[in-house]
Amino acid sequence: MPQRPGVVTVAGYLLFATAALTVVGVVANIASIGPTREVYADAYAGTPAAGTEAVLVGGVVFGLVINLLLAVGFVLLAVFNNRGKNASRVTTWVIGGLSICCTGFGLAGSALSSAMTSLAEVPDQPGMPDPQEITERLENEIPAWATPVTIVSSVLTLLFLLVVIVLLAMPPANEFFRKPAVAWQPPGAGYPGYPGYPAGSAYPPPSQAPYPPQPAQPGTYPPDYPPAGSAPPDYPPAGPAPQSPPPPSPYDNPVPPPPADPPSPPSPPSPPSSGSDSPPHS
């Protein structure tokens, strides 16, 4: 967010001052409620307009509650305007414009009513009090500071709100309340890289074996290794090269001796000869 410009800061201070002036006006009106109710109750006692003071006091109390809510609203608007909330600035324009209209019409109506009451000759109505007498009694019963304080606070509130509306519409304020554009980031730029590799890489290279799988539970099939979607690990794994087995030794597995020659079969008997060994003939 850009640095807060001076026009926004001054508008915030003026809103705080407007809230304080509104509270001061509420206090002055509270001080005049009691005397006003007593004057109207005495003036209209025994007339068809008896009880008018209750309606008048109820309207005054309702206006005081609205003013207190406005004072709280001005404080909140000042806080959120200083934080750069554009919705708060728009709300300030709306509430400020309505307050200016109400305050301006109220001041104009009060001035016109006082002038007409003092200059015009109101005919006396039978059984009704004289309006001039009621006005004089109100001026004597209400504290002398209440009416001037109410008028001054209303005029200053009107001026402060006008200045606030103008300040919040100036170009520096527009730059402050404008939302910054969101910069596009490439996919994977905001994720940490694999340990030992650049931060822009969100996945391990194909030559790096993934984490070993968890041992399979009894009675279940072993999990696929490597997991689906990942590159197969290099085999053999990184580490010292395995040594070749030593050559076989003749003493480990001795060669058996060759089998002995089988004995020769016995020779058949020789036939008798026809010589001296033949029996004599008789």
Domain borders along the chain are 6-120+140-177
What pLDDT is attached to residue 281?
47
What is the pLDDT averaged over residues 71-88? Answer: 94
Q: Between 58 and 161, where is the model more confident?
A: 161
Tokens of 73: 């609203």
Point out the least confidently predicted range of 51-65, 79-93, 135-149, 186-200: 186-200
What pLDDT is attached to residue 88?
93
Torsion of CA 218, 224, 228, 232, to 10 degrees: 140
Residues in the chain: 282
Residue 104 has pLDDT above 50, yes or no: yes
Q: Between 91 and 261, where is the model more confident?
A: 91
Residue 197 near residue 62 (C-beta atoms within 8 A): no
What is the pLDDT averaged over residues 182-196? Answer: 55
What pLDDT is attached to residue 112?
62
Spatial CA neighbour of 173 closest among 96, 90, 98: 90
Tokens of 56: 């008048």
The pLDDT confidence band at residue 227, using thresholds 50, 70 and 90, is low
Which residues contact residue 214 at a Cβ distance below 8 angstroms, ignoring those fewer than 6 apart? Answer: 223
Average pLDDT, rounded, for the chain = 74
